[in-house]
Amino acid sequence: MIDLSSDTVTRPTEAMRRVMARAEVGDEQKGEDPTVNMLQDVVAELLGKEAALYLPTGTMCNNIAIKAHTQPADAILVDRQAHILRSESAGLAALSNVLVDQIDGDRGRFTAEQVARAITKGSLYAAPTRLLCVEQTHNFGGGTIWPLAQLRAVCEVARARGIATHMDGARLLNAVVATGMQARDYAACCDSVWIDFSKGLGAPGGAVLAGSAAFIQQARRYKHVFGGAQRQAGIIAAAGLYALSHHVERLCGDHENAKILADGLGSIPGVQVELPVETNMVFFDVRGAGLSHEAFLANLQSHRVRVGSVGDRLRAVTHLDVSQHDIQEALAVIKKVCRKQDS
Ligand SMILES: *Cc1c(COP(=O)(O)O)cnc(C)c1O
């Protein structure tokens, strides 16, 4: 199976498993797991923040950050396609009781003027805006990258109004390798930021949330509240440390493969590709080739190729477990499936 449905399908490599098996561990909940503590230190340093907190998932990073930055009945600002809004089962409503004001971004990225217009001061009638969320790279925007200057401008508007800023950096490191910028330069724009180890970095799980010492102290409390404190989590954290030293540079290859895939898809009559492809995701539409997306996905599956769907868009994601040869093979299958429909 050539699985392009997500970069979450990667499996730990043999070398990663060896490091995990040998990891020094302790009771993570008590702060006594040396490998977890090391990963937190490494990520705090990478992101240029005072402190960091290991959590089991990125979703928990978002939920804890929103909880820590807001009070019930506050308003938060997010792009209309944000993962926080579209893909986290309304956790922000259930756990933080906040109102979401949506910004209509351009493939996930909005402007300082849009933020300024969307901010509510708060009154007897209106919920005050307390938090602005950005996503780097932007998943449903198309794996798009926030340019540093635009990110700075947007977060500056919030900061000037006393509004906290949070970055969903699930794929921040994809942006870093694509642009050559430092992770800490992007991270400096926001009060809180996290990275995910279970996506393109290829670890079986884990995410680390970073921010000021005071913010992380509060986040640690909510980690217990939400049931995220673990025991010998060093086994997983070891995979994260391994990924940071072995799987970051190689993300470039994923981006190259995504471009090859996009070029190939674009040459198939009736197939529309969302351009430009900036990182490891390709969103496309095959209905112009006379195929419903359901039929296309089923047909692909019978040829042992899988892509994902997001609403009425198709999404192919490149990652550690797909080679350039796999991409060529997947393209050949997609061409065959689309051509069959044509004749
Ligand atoms: C995957 C993802 C998340 C959630 O991370 P999990 O580790 O799957 O909980 C949040 N935001 C974005 C942009 C993601 O792609």
All structural domains of the chain, each given as residue ranges with its CATH number in brackets, are 7-246 (3.40.640.10), 250-342 (3.90.1150.10)
The pocket around ligand 1, CB under 6 angstroms, is made up of 57-59, 83, 135, 139, 168, 170, 196, 198, 207
Among 8, 63, 85, 87, residue to substitute to test ligand 1 (most atoms within 8 Å of Cβ): 87
Cα 140 to averaged position of ligand 1 atoms, centre (Å):
11
- Residue with the smallest CA separation from ligand 1 atom 8 is 58
Token couple for 284: 């496309």
Per-residue pLDDT tens, the chain, 343 aa: give them. Answer: 999 999 999 999 999 999 999 999 999 999 999 999 999 999 999 999 999 999 999 999 999 999 999 999 999 999 999 999 999 999 999 999 999 999 999 999 999 999 999 999 999 999 999 999 999 999 999 999 999 999 999 999 999 999 999 999 999 999 999 999 999 999 999 999 999 999 999 999 999 999 999 999 999 999 999 999 999 999 999 999 999 999 999 999 999 999 999 999 999 999 999 999 999 999 999 999 999 999 999 999 999 999 999 999 999 999 999 999 999 999 999 999 998 765 5
The residue whose CB lies within 8 Å of the most ligand 1 atoms, and thus the one to mutate among 85, 109, 135, 168, is 168
pTM: 0.97
Counting from 1 in the atom list of ligand 1, the atom nearest the Cα of 168 is 11
